[in-house]
Amino acid sequence: MARKMTRCLLLALALCLAGTLAFAAPAQAPQVPVKGVVTMLDLGAKSCIPCKMMAPILVELEKDYRGKAAVVFIDVREDNDAARKFGIRAIPTQIFFNRAGQEVSRHEGFMDKKTASDTLNKLLAK
């Protein structure tokens, strides 16, 4: 089990380094929410255990929703301004924005892929 989790984390890291997912560093932080697009923002830290568990899910979501919705990760330990801007109290925190850029949903803690997909699908259907 631990070996499988390690493989998943290494795969997620490799995909992130390859630029598959918008893992934002402070110097290149994207404009969030992404203008005109349904956006899922995950605020966490690369060193946080639940955040590490979310990494492969975020990679899958980015792939599944490419061209339909933006999936963005910001490490709040590297970008303290993002934590203040979005009023983060715990990590990971997922914030969902509609196409108009309005926050419509917020969740603190680990979020499984089905819950995230269901939320994105509801926003895309509107």
Which residues are part of the catalytic machinery? 48, 51
Angle between helix 49-65 and helix 2-17 axes, rounded to 10 deg: 60
Backbone angles phi, psi at 54, to 5 degrees: -80, -25
Q: How far is CA 59 from CA 18, 56, 81, 85, 118, in A?
A: 11, 5, 24, 24, 16
The distance in angstroms from the start CA to the end CA of the chain is: 39
Sheet holding 103-108, edge to edge: 22-24, 69-75, 38-44, 93-97, 103-108
